[in-house]
Amino acid sequence: MTVGILSFRLPLFDNLERNNKKAIHGTCWLLALFCMSFGLYAVFESHNDTGTEGTYYANMYSLHSWIGIGVFSLFLGQFVAGSLLYGFKVGGDGVRKEMMSVHKVRARSERCMDEKREARNNCSSLRSSPSA
Ligand code: HEM
């Protein structure tokens, strides 16, 4: 994700053409999307797998999980919109220009939300740990 965000700014990529920087940017976010989807799939699979004891864990029972799905949905929307507008150049130049500020602000707020969610999770696991 860091390389995805910094792909237009890293001095390492300074000599690359803009389209190549875009390709790096898009590929990084595609990888992030794959990792997120795999993580979500693993979580639902593990909850639904009753194992030998037949224990079932409910899905989507915490605020953490709902915020996670919210972040994932926003991310997916951002990815689809980014690919169409800037990857496949769907729509006019005016729309692309207008949407760029939305693209940048949205991406940063999604990352911020995800970091807050992780921080909250770490705090609650500290609280519930008897030795902490
Ligand atoms: C979920 C997916 C995506 C996220 C989170 C995201 C995030 C960002 C962020 C944070 C910036 C600002 C970078 C900066 O200020 O240096 C940016 C810029 C940009 N993104 Fe994305 N992006 C995503 C998908 C895409 C896709 C698929 C494309 C199309 C290839 C794309 C094209 C661009 C372009 C053209 C810029 C402008 C860079 C510049 O300032 O010149 N983005 N994106």
What is the per-residue pLDDT across 67-113, written as a single tens digit (0 to 9) for each?
999 999 999 999 999 999 999 999 899 999 999 999 998 777 777 77
Map tokens 């939305």 to a residue.
102
Domain chopping of the chain, boundaries: 1-59, 60-132
Find out whether the beta carbon of 78 lies less than 6 Å from any atom of ligand 1: yes
Paired tokens of 25: 């940017």
Min mean pLDDT across 29-43, 54-68, 71-85, 118-132 is at: 118-132
Whole-number Å distance, alpha carbon 15 to ligand 1 midpoint, is 18
Write out pLDDT tens, residues 47-70: 998 888 888 789 999 999 999 999
Q: Which of 12, 21, 28, 86 for a ligand 1 pocket mutation test, highest count of atoms within 8 Å of Cβ?
A: 86
| DSSP-H helix ranges across the chain | 2-6, 18-48, 63-82, 93-128
Q: Model-level pTM?
A: 0.81
Res 112: pLDDT? 76
Is 60 exceeded by the pLDDT of residue 26? Answer: yes
Nearest Cα residue to atom 13 of ligand 1: 5
